[in-house]
Structure 1
């Protein structure tokens, strides 16, 4: 029974990390809690759970899913930080990518506390496809700009936001793997 409690603690920590990332992205500022997200320690906790409690079957899938998820949380955290630090101009496509990334994170956060992972996954796939389309449109649109520094900065920020949706999709896949043992 103790393993379930440890996995629930990991789930709660994951939920808090997603909430903190979402909050920073919403506010477009790096909150104090954002800097306290320690994903290396999260990895170590997952490894300790696996090593000390010898989970089997479904419980092992959940622990492995958390281990895989942490690297994608690192990517999301870095993307949020880069966006907040570098986005100091106006661009409709960047704003659309921002809203899309925020919606994807919020959907993931809500799904984490509910039993609707399957529904959330299809919604998140939609967000990921929308992000890809917006990014493609931006690449076409940006060819009209003469300022190479602005082009590079815009593409960098856009790619970071687009990757958030990709990472959220992958995290949701791992959560489904943990819950149902589906192929990933």
Structure 2
């Protein structure tokens, strides 16, 4: 028996159930589902959701949802730090509103998005400054800054030391060890 895709109908009560399940994960997507009035609207929504399916935990992951989502967030930030991430970019990646994403981020990660990003950028920059020969401009780019002057200002304000001080202390320490 062949099924024609146009004959596929979803009962209204099942759509409501799907909508409420989705609302628990992402209110923004649930709103879009409830606003779908045509088959094309529903197709577009399903395609969009399919493209973002990595952001929603599967049923077998739901018991470990917080751990899974924190891993996804951490991985996304690590892989995209050089792009100058914003809360808006993360919210779009997860399919959430910025406000919801901000609250969720704090609940899962234990600190604000901006605090996490500041700490993560400083840690990555310190590691690059002490373990590589990358220029300051290269380090700045690697942690999401478009120029080394903005990076140097940020780094000094965050650590009390300039990137050059960190690197020169490393050089002096290495020379002392060699003697």
Structure 2 length normalisation: TM-score?
0.25
Higher RCO structure, 1 or 2 (CA under 8 Å, sep 6+): 1
Structure 1 length normalisation: TM-score?
0.25
Q: Which has the larger helix fraction? A: 1
